[in-house]
A and B are shown apart, each in its own frame.
Chain A
Amino acid sequence: MTTPTASPSEHTPRVSVRGLTKRYRTRTRDTTALDGVSIDIAPGEFVVLLGPSGCGKTTLLRSIAGLEQPDAGDILLDGALVSSSAGKVWCPPEQRRLGMVFQSYALWPHMSVADNVAYPLRNAGHRAAEIGPLVQQALARVGLDALGPSFPGQLSGGQQQRVALARALVATGGLVLFDEPLSNLDAKVRARLRVELAALQRTVGFSSLYVTHDQSEALALADRIAVMEVGRIAQIGSPQDIYDRTVSRYVADFIGSANEVLGEIEHRGGGECAVRTPLGLLAGQACADIDHVGGAAAVMFRPEHCTVLGPGAPVPAGHNRIAGTLERSLFQGATVEHVVRVGGSLVVATALAHDGMPPGTSVTVAFPAARTLVYGLPKDRR
C-alpha cells in the first residue's frame, strides 16, 4: 500500500492510478473492464483516454470519480489515497472534490443555470455572500454570464455543455473528468467547443482526464493520449508520438487510417528492417516486438505519407515504391484520395491537389521508409 503524502508538492500527480482492476460479473460470464491499469495525470495536464466502446475507458474515469468501486489497485488524488482494495480505503464521490462533465451533461432541470453552478459551492459550505460572485465568474468564464436565471431546458446543447463545464470547474481543486462530453452535439458545435475547451484549459490551467472515442478530438485536445485496448493501456504518449511512433498494430489501426500489408521479415539491422510482401520488398522502422528473421510481420503506412507518381516520374531516395494501376480517385474537397490496385489488394494514398490522372493509368506509390512501421505478428495470426 502506498503511503499518502501529507502535503502535495507541485510535482505530485493530481491523479495517480496504480494497478487498477475492475471486473463485472453477470450471470453468464465475467468481463474484465480494467486489467491492472496505471496512469498519472500531472498538474495542468490534459490526458485523453481514447479507445473503442467497451475498452474500459469510461470505467477508469468512473472509478477515479468514485462512481465505481474497483476490485483491486489504488487511486490517489493529490497524493492522498481515496480508493484501495488492499488498505480497505474507500472515499465516496462527494468527498473527492473533483469536477465531472457527463455525456448527457446531467444538468438538474428543476434548478436555474445559476443554481446548478452554485450547488457544488453550497455543498462545500461556502457562505451565501461568496456564492453569487463565484457563480457569476464561473459563468462568465464560459461566456454565459447573461443566462444565470434561465433553466437548462431553455438552452441549446452547446450552452448546456458550457453550463456543465462551469459547474465542474467551480468548486473543484482544478481537476475535471470528461465523459465523452461532445458526443451529443452536431459536428459544427463540436468543433467550436473543442477549440473553446482547449483555450479555457490553457487560461484556467485545470488538469483533465477526458474520455472519447473520437481520435481527431483526442489529437486536438491532448497533452498526452492513452489508447486503451480491452482493459489495459496499449500506448500512452503525446499525440505526435501516438501518431508517428505507434508501438502496436492495434494502435496504428485505431489512430488515423492506415494501409496494411502482411509479409515475412527478410532482414533486420538496427531500428530498420525489410519485409518480403506480395507487393515487393518494403523497408520500415522495426517496432520492439520484432525479434527474428523469417517471422510474420505487418507493414503499415499512412495514406497521407504516400505520393502517387505518374509513369516515368523519379522516386525520391529513402522511399518504398509499389507499382500499380490507378483504380479511382475520390474527390474530398481539400484532398483527393487515390485508390491504387496492386495485384489483388488496394492501397490508398491521399494527395493535396488533383493532378488529373485518368483511372487505369500505371502509377507508382512512393512512401518514406522512415514513416513505414513494421510490427511482428504471432505465427497463427497471419
Chain B
Amino acid sequence: MSTSRGLARRPASRLDGFGVVVMVMLVTVALFLAFPLGTAVLRTLGDAPQGLEAILTSIASGALPKVLANTALVVLGGAAIATVAGAVLAFVNERTDGSLGAAGELLPLAPMIVPPIAGVIGWAILLDPSVGLVNHLLRGALGLVGIEATEGPLDIYTATGLVCVTGLYLVPYVYLIVAAGLRGVDPALDEASRVSGASPLRTMLRVTLPAVRPALLAAALMAVIAGIGLFSVPIVLGTAARMDVISVHVYRLFDQFPPQTATGLMLSGAMVVVVQCLLLAQHWMMPGERHSMIGGRGGRAGQIRLGRWRRPAQALAVAYLATTSILPVCGLLIVSFQPFWTPLIDVAQFTLENYTFVLFENGPTSRAFVTSLGLGAATATAAVLIAAVLMFAARLRQGQVARAADVVMALPATLPHTVIGVAFLITFTPAPFKLYGTVLILFLAYLAMALPFAARAAASAASGIGTDVAEASRISGAGPGRTFVRILLPLALPGLMAGWIIVFIHTAGEVTASSLLGGARNPVIGRVMTELWIFGSFPQLAAMAIVVTAVTTTGVALMLYLTRRASIRT
C-alpha cells in the first residue's frame, strides 16, 4: 500500500515549481519599481548643481516660497477639516445609534463613487462666482431682501474654496483609520466605564477617545500625506485661483517648454523626503496595529444612545455624502445637458448633444474613454494577479518572502503620484525606450500606482481564509500550486474582484500621471478633462464627468455586492 509513498520521498527542498514562479515574480516587481526610482535618484543627484541654482533663483524671486506657503495652507487646512469631520463621522457611525448602517459604508467610498476630478468640476459649476448655479440661487434670494449683485456671494476660486474641497477629499483617509481604531476597542470598555458611574460624555472623553488617540494622530498625519499628493483638486481650483501647490508646480515644470527637469526632480525629491518623514512619524505613533486591539470581540453591543442628537448626527453623514457626491453630480448633470454653461436653467434648451459629442463625434474624448477604460482593465488585471500570487505565497511560506513581498508592493503607496509620474517620465522618455506619450508608459506607471491597492485587497482577501483550508488541501493530496488554483483562488475571488474594481476605478479616472505622461496621440480621460477645463469647454466636460461617474458608481455598486456576498458565505 505504501510503496508509492516510499518512492515519493526526496531531499528536503524549499523550492518547488510554484516557489520558482513566486521568486521570479517578486524579483521582477522589485526591479520594475527600483529601476525608474533609481534612475530618478541618480538623475536628481547628477543635475543637483543646476537644480539647486534654479531653486535658489526661484526662492529669490518669491515664486517657490509662494508655492510652499500655498501648499502648507491647503494641506494643513484641508487635513484639519478632514481630521475633525472624519473622526466625528467615524465615531457616530461606529459607536452610536446615529449610524447610517449599510449607507454608512459609503462614507469612505465617496471619492470613488464620484472621482475627485468630476466632483471638483461639479463644485466649480455650483460655486463659480459669476455663473455658479448655487451662487445664482443665492443672488436671487438676496435680491428678495434688496441686495443686488452680479457676482458671488461665494467664490470657490479662493484659498478658502481650495482648502474646503481638499478637506472634503481627505475625509476618507481619516475615517478609515479612526473607524478601524474604534472597531478594535471592545465596547465592553465603554460599558464598564458607564457601569462605573461615568456619563456618556465622560466615557467618550476619558475612555473611548484615549483608546484611539494613536489612531487619531496617525489619521491626521495620513491626511497631510494624502494632501501633499492630491493633484486633481488643486489643478482645477488652484489654476483658476492662481494658487499653485507643490504637486501642480512640479507638473508645470515638466509641462512647459523647455521642461525644467533639474528643478522638477529636486522638488520631487524634497516631496519624497517630507512624505517619508511623515510616514516615519506615523509609524512611530502607531506601534503595530495591535495597539488598540484591547479586549475581546467587537460588535454592535455597546452602541451609545444619542437621544435627541441622533437626527443631527445622521444629518451630518448625509451632508457629507451630499457634498461629495449628490450636489456636484446635480451640477454636472444640469450643465451637461446645456448647450452652454449658464445658471439660468431652461429645460426646453436641454440637449444630449454634449454626450454624443464626447462619446462619438470628438476623436480625442471618445478615444480617451476607450484608452482609459482599457488601461484600467489591463492594469487592474495585472496588479491583482501579481498581488494574489505574491500574497498567497507569503501566507503559504511566511518568513522572508512574505516580508519582501509586503515591502515591495507597499512601496509605491509611500510616494506622491506626481513623483511616480516624474520617475517614469524621465526614465522611459529618453532612448532606448522613447515611451513618452505611449499607452505602454501609462500602463507601467498605472501598474506601479495600483500595486499597493491590489496588495491590500489581496491581503484582506487572504486574511479571511484560514491556513487550515490550505493545509486540509495539502493533506488531501494536492500540491501547493493545485492548492492555490483549486482552493485559495476561488475562496479569495470575491475579495480579489473587489480589488480589481478599486484599481480599475482609480486607474480609469487617474489624473496625475496621465497629465504628466499622456501625450496627444493617446489621450486618456484624466488628461483630456484637465485640458477641457483649461480650454473652457464646460458642457462637454460635464458630460464627460457624468459618464466617468456612471462607470465608477457602477463599479462601486458591483464591489459592494461582491464583498457583501463573500461575507455572507463565510
Chain B residues with CB under 8 Å of A4's CB are 6
- Say yes or no: A93 contacts B3, CB within 8 Å: no
Chain B residues with CB under 8 Å of A8's CB are 1-2
Give which listed residue, B1, B473, B482, contacts A78 with CB less than 8 A. B1
* Majority secondary structure of chain A interface residues (helix, strand, loop or mixed): loop
- Say yes or no: A80 contacts B6, CB within 8 Å: yes
Closest 10 CB pairs of A and B: A123-B477, A78-B2, A90-B12, A120-B476, A106-B468, A80-B6, A106-B472, A93-B474, A95-B8, A100-B475
- Say yes or no: A91 contacts B9, CB within 8 Å: yes
- Say yes or no: A79 contacts B2, CB within 8 Å: yes
Give the size range of B's interface with the partner: 20 to 34
Bound-state CA distance A106–B10 (Å) is: 28
Interface string of B37-62 (1 = CB under 8 A from A): 00000000000000000000000000
Give residues 460-475 of B contacting A (CB, 8 Å).
466, 468-469, 471-475
Give residues 1-41 of B contacting A (CB, 8 Å).
1-6, 8-13
**Contacts known (A109-B569, A110-B490); A65 close to B469, Cβ less than 8 A:** no
- Say yes or no: B5 contacts A80, CB within 8 Å: yes
Q: Please report A residues at the B interface, Cβ cutoff 8 Å.
A: 4, 6-8, 65-67, 69, 77-82, 88-100, 102-104, 106-110, 119-120, 123-124, 151, 153, 167-168, 171, 173
CB distance from A160 to the nearest CB of B (A): 12
Chain B residues with CB under 8 Å of A7's CB are 3
Give which listed residue, B3, B477, B478, B570, contacts A6 with CB less than 8 A. B3
Task: Say whether B487 faces chain A, with CB atoms less than 8 Å apart.
Answer: yes
Task: Say whether B491 faces chain A, with CB atoms less than 8 Å apart.
Answer: yes
Bound-state CA distance A88–B13 (Å) is: 9
* Majority secondary structure of chain B interface residues (helix, strand, loop or mixed): helix
Chain B residues with CB under 8 Å of A171's CB are 476-477
Chain A residues with CB under 8 Å of B474's CB are 66-67, 92-94
Bound-state CA distance A123–B569 (Å) is: 25
Chain B residues with CB under 8 Å of A119's CB are 473, 476, 478, 486
- Say yes or no: B476 contacts A78, CB within 8 Å: no
- Say yes or no: A91 contacts B5, CB within 8 Å: yes
CB distance from B568 to the nearest CB of A (A): 9
Bound-state CA distance A89–B468 (Å) is: 24
- Say yes or no: B2 contacts A77, CB within 8 Å: yes
Besides A81-B9, A106-B472, 13 more A-B contacts (Cβ < 8 Å) are: A6-B3, A65-B475, A78-B2, A80-B3, A89-B12, A90-B12, A94-B475, A94-B477, A95-B8, A97-B5, A102-B468, A103-B468, A167-B472
CB distance from B165 to the nearest CB of A (A): 44
Chain A residues with CB under 8 Å of B482's CB are 123
Bound-state CA distance A90–B15 (Å) is: 13
Give which listed residue, B9, B10, B491, contacts A108 with CB less than 8 A. B491
- Say yes or no: A108 contacts B477, CB within 8 Å: no
- Say yes or no: A109 contacts B491, CB within 8 Å: yes
Chain B residues with CB under 8 Å of A107's CB are 469, 472
Bound-state CA distance A298–B486 (Å) is: 57
CB distance from A79 to the nearest CB of B (A): 7
Bound-state CA distance A103–B474 (Å) is: 16
